[in-house]
Amino acid sequence: MSRETVQAAAVDWLGSGRFESELARLVAIPSESQVPEGLAHCAAYLDAMRSWFEGMGFTCRVFDNPKAGRGPVLLATRHEGEGLPTVLGYGHGDVVRAMTGRWAQGREPWVLRREGERLYGRGTADNKGQHLINLIALAEVLRARGRLGFNAKVMIETGEETGSPGLHEIIAAHPEAFAANVLIASDGPRVHPGRPTVSLGCRGAVNFDLVCDLREGAHHSGNWGGALADPAAILAHAIASIVTPEGQIRVPEWRPEPIRPLVRELLAGMTLDGGDTGPEVDADWGEPGLTPAENVYAWNSFAVLAMTAGTPEAPVNAIAPAARAHCQLRFIAGTDAADILPALRRHLDRAGFGRVAVVADEREAGFSASRTEPDHPWAEWVRKSVARSTGTEPAVVPQMGGSICNELFTDLLGIPAIWLPHSYAGCAQHAPDEHVLLPVCESALGLMAGLYWDLGEDGVPR
């Protein structure tokens, strides 16, 4: 058997219908981690994964989550020999809320549906379809060789969509179980559907509320307008002090150090493409002098995710007593995460907005920012393997724009973490009509089979 034969066997899962059939079985498990009733389904998802791994000769261990009401974690291990590299994989079986009834054209979240080159269903892109591709590639290398040629560990968690609560504690309590030389896993989107991408980390995320609460009850705008301060207007001005009309961050401590020349070189000419249903990039938004790719992959960004005052669904002629905005800072490695909210408090006080409170979001755990440097030997090795499989240089981004538990690998386990995303920015993850593109899946099956084949050959970083 050759590398090319193994790649063809992995890609054949698409043509034979086996990929679609297996993904349909996984999508049908309603493993929502954001609702209490989803917990049992998260455990059921790990049962489905366990049968996969045990069929490949892995030993499986399930860790109960130390956080009450949170899903378990599966670790599958195949040890082939001392002195071989150990590669850790990762996936998450939990999904966001189904949003049933909001999917277009009669689509249902728990039923896989094929339309042209798209497979619709909750979890197809985030993340069931992505780690299924990697499992198929592993299985085909094992079938061809009779062995992998390296030691493999794969973690499947069930709480990523709520910030991976409890995962740090599980790994910290069992470091030898999760120890490896490198993490190679898949999540997030490619920079372009047709361009393989290597992501070397992720931005962190901090969610918080800005609240201007001035009094009890609303008061008639005719009788009191001009005499009562408007909390919505105050809050709007407070937000305007944080970010300019062009999206430039005004909080000094939120502004990163200048982008490294190597990173600018990697991102030069890179475009963001969400496919035919993705939004048009606003080239004039963000930090002046940076390209959209640099703003997403190498800079911090502030967003207002939701904002309310009064009753928007049924407005009345009254001055609202309070206004609230739910906000988020996405930040790159090197940002002082512990100082993000204190720095905002200092900024608002300096700007005269003492009546606007900063309230940390305690509903979900947050992710820290971390990355592996582009010139790390493992990053170079993965890039070359992908280029060999695809015949083109992959896009290399210093950190994906979204957030995931990357710091558990780089900081807690102390290993390089490298991500090979199998989706695209227009996949509608976290929204109705989530889907994957079949051409991207085909490309991903081939490049992952090639990569796992290469891991069993000479020349792997030591």
The amino acid sitting at 69 is G
Reduced to 3 states (helix: H, G, I; strand: E, B; else coil), residue 184 is strand
- CA torsion, ordered 369, 374, 376, 382, to nearest 10 deg: 100
Pick the CATH number of 3-202+369-455 from 3.30.70.2860, 3.30.2310.20, 3.40.50.620, 3.40.630.10: 3.40.630.10
Q: How many CB atoms lie within 10 A of CB 293?
A: 22
**CA 272 – CA 190 distance, rounded (Å):** 9
Q: Residue 366's pLDDT is what?
A: 67
Q: Residue 286's pLDDT is what?
A: 96
pLDDT tens across the length of the chain (462 residues): 799 999 999 999 999 999 999 999 999 999 999 999 999 999 999 999 999 999 999 999 999 999 999 999 999 999 999 999 999 999 999 999 999 999 999 999 999 999 999 999 999 999 999 999 999 999 999 999 999 999 999 999 999 999 899 999 999 999 999 999 999 999 999 999 999 999 999 999 999 999 999 999 999 999 999 999 999 999 999 999 999 999 999 999 999 999 999 999 999 989 887 777 778 899 899 999 999 999 999 999 999 999 999 999 999 999 999 999 999 999 999 999 999 999 999 999 999 999 999 999 876 556 789 999 999 999 999 999 999 999 999 999 999 988 899 999 999 999 999 999 999 999 999 999 999 999 999 999 999 999 999 999 999 998
Domain range summary for the chain, segments of one domain joined by +: 3-202+369-455, 204-256+300-360
Q: Residue 28's pLDDT is what?
A: 98
Q: Give the max Cα distance, the chain.
A: 84
At 209, which helix (H) or strand (E)? Answer: strand 204-213
User: Token pair of 51, please?
Assistant: 């049968």
Q: Name the region of 22 (left: φ>0; alpha: ψ -120 to 50; beta: rest).
A: alpha
The amino acid sitting at 63 is F
Q: What are phi and psi of 435, to 5 degrees?
A: -160, 165
Strands 182-185 and 86-92: parallel
How far is residue 177 CA from its own chain's centroid? 24
DSSP for 65-93 reads PSSTT---EEEEEE---TTS-EEEEEEE-
Q: Tell the CATH topology of 204-256+300-360.
A: Alpha-Beta Plaits (3.30.70)
- Tally of CA atoms within 13 A in the half-sphere of 131 that contains its CB: 26
Q: What are phi and psi of 86, to 5 degrees?
A: -110, 120
Q: CA torsion sign, 91 to 118 to 433 to 193?
A: positive
**160 close to 127: Cβ distance less than 8 angstroms:** yes
